[in-house]
Amino acid sequence: MTENPKQIGADRIVDAAGAYELYGGPVIVIDFGTATTYDLVSEDATFLARITSPGIRIAANALWNDTAKLPEVEIKKPDTILAKDTITSMQAGLVYGYIGQTEYIIKKIKEESGLKEAKAVATGGLGKIISDATDQIQIYDSELTLKGLRLIYKKQ
């Protein structure tokens, strides 16, 4: 169980509750928002662990705001990782980099927790791009947070 539950953000609790109620446990909930968050919920609904990394948009902003000559680009998956120009090079690094991060973190969560059967549920603005590009995410639910809020409200 997480050491200090009071430090868990309300959005993460809502997403975890929604994913658990809708899709069962164990479940890994991934929210591709400002930060990319990964939360592990056990079969008995225990919030076991959490991982937080910079979101895709934060990484993209760092590229075009903190470098001298890199332009702002649309965040989308290019047809190939083998980019031949600056724009697709940046898109490849951002998107394929997050695909790799996501796959590695999901595999590591399953390995270290022993919950190899945990399903991964993704949400968040740019989550569709990543979830469509990996078999490590079984479900993409763009409305997971709203569904979680509704489920919590009904239980109250």
The catalytic site residues sit at 11
> How far apart, in whole angstroms, are the C-alpha atoms of residue 156 and residue 27?
23
Candidates 123, 156, 126; CA nearest to 11 is 123
Candidates 97, 86, 87; CA nearest to 130 is 97
Q: What is the DSSP letter of 137?
A: -
Handedness of CA 18, 122, 28, 25 (dihedral sign): positive
